[in-house]
């Protein structure tokens, strides 16, 4: 059962200016948790969107300085640091100063296709940065470390739906390899230092405040600007599109339930978080066209290096352990995204 007392504890959320990080931070601070957020505000995509998310949390851009806490003007229980995970000295210093009960690491270099062209940044952020989080958890004796993994770790796996028991030793991109590496590194630290760690394999998250490099955002931009969308594998793709509120709900169920050591088994856990209802890509595009009331031109292309043809989450473990039941219908989620998109871009 969920520990309601979690909201009285100190939580460190990395990547809090990112898509999922913003939504999780907003949810937790509104429930009373003391949250310290961190983000490096990288220019992988429009930094103005990241600053706009922070504004929603009461952090003004003019008050942000590197490695110095900025206090929210709306929430007394939220502070923000602009810093990089690869800055080990700062990460250790923050964790020692606050002595966090819980760390939720959502900061990472995202993007499957981007990892083909820019591999260095994935080692910098996703490997070395995560190592620093593990070291900080070790030296400050964090009670629970939760970190973002990805459905991409299933790689060349042909079995559907993807289960946590399936092999994940065939990554198809460096991004996927970096996420699998995180899982292995976490297992090592759980085994050696008794740090309770939980990895969460996210499945194609979408919703308001999403990233501009994600399909739904790129499609929406093309629909509204009269452009053309690239449809890979000639449209023969399916994804377990999961609405961001369902992702946050799943994380919230996990945060009060750290895994425990069982005889020789370390305090280590892995869970899929998805909707368990894969949708066809062409249907997804059609729902977007309906939401915006416009059609879009389509350029059909072959499957790209590193891409998976299908993702489909088996969420049995999360259901059985934490009564997790994602419930946002894809049409409802797309309508919420389109409403936000129109508002956000209409006000700029």
Q: Which two tokens stand for residue 348?
A: 């700029």
- The DSSP secondary-structure symbol of 287 reads H
Quick check: 209 and 280 in contact, CB under 8 A?
no
Q: Phi and psi dihedrals of 151, rounded to 5?
A: -65, -20
Cβ atoms < 10 Å from Cβ of 10: 15
Phi-psi region of 141 (alpha: psi -120 to 50; beta: other; left: phi over 0): left
Select which of 147, 175, 243, 324 is catalytic. Answer: 175
Respond yes or no: is residue 122 known to be catalytic: no
Distance of CA 347 to the CA centre of its chain: 26
Cβ atoms < 10 Å from Cβ of 158: 9
Give the integer Cα–Cα distance in Å for 330 and 306.
25
Q: Is the peptide bond before 165 cis (omega within 30 degrees of 0)?
A: no
**Helical ranges in the chain per DSSP H:** 19-30, 47-56, 88-98, 112-117, 119-122, 129-139, 174-193, 215-225, 244-255, 281-292, 316-322, 330-346
DSSP reduced 3-state for 283: helix
Give the integer Cα–Cα distance in Å for 282 and 230.
12
User: Could you give the residue numbers annotated as active site?
Assistant: 175
């Amino acid at each position: 059962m969920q520990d309601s007392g979690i909201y009285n504890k100190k939580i460190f959320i990395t990547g809090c200016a990112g898509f999922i990080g913003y939504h999780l931070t907003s949810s937790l601070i509104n429930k009373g948790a003391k949250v310290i957020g961190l983000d490096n505000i990288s220019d992988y995509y429009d930094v103005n969107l990241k600053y706009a998310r922070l504004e929603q949390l009461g952090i003004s851009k003019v008050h942000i300085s590197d490695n110095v806490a900025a206090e929210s003007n709306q929430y007394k229980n939220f502070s923000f640091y602009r810093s990089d995970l690869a800055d080990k000295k700062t990460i250790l210093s923050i964790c020692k100063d606050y002595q966090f009960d819980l760390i939720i690491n959502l900061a990472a270099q995202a993007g499957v296709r981007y990892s083909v062209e820019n591999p260095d940044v994935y080692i910098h952020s996703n490997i070395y940065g995560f190592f620093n989080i593990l070291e900080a958890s070790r030296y400050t004796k964090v009670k629970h470390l939760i970190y973002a993994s990805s459905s991409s770790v299933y790689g060349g796996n042909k079995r559907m739906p993807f289960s946590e028991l399936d092999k994940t030793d065939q990554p198809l991109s460096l991004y996927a390899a970096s996420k699998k590496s995180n899982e292995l590194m976490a297992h090592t630290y759980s085994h050696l230092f008794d740090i309770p760690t939980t990895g969460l394999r996210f499945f194609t998250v979408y919703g308001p405040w999403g990233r501009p490099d994600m399909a739904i955002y790129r499609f929406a931009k093309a629909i509204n600007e009269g452009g053309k969308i690239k449809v890979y594998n000639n449209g023969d793709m399916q994804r377990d599109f999961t609405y961001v509120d369902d992702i946050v709900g799943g994380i919230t169920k996990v945060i009060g339930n750290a895994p425990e050591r069982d005889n020789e088994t370390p305090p280590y856990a892995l869970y899929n978080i998805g909707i368990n209802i894969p949708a066809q890509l062409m249907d997804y595009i059609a729902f977007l066209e309906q939401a915006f009331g416009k059609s879009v031109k389509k350029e059909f292309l072959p499957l790209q290096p590193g891409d998976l043809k299908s993702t489909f989450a088996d969420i049995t473990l999360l259901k059985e352990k934490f009564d997790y039941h994602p419930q946002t219908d894809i049409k409802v989620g797309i309508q919420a995204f389109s409403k936000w998109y129109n508002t956000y871009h209409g006000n700029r």
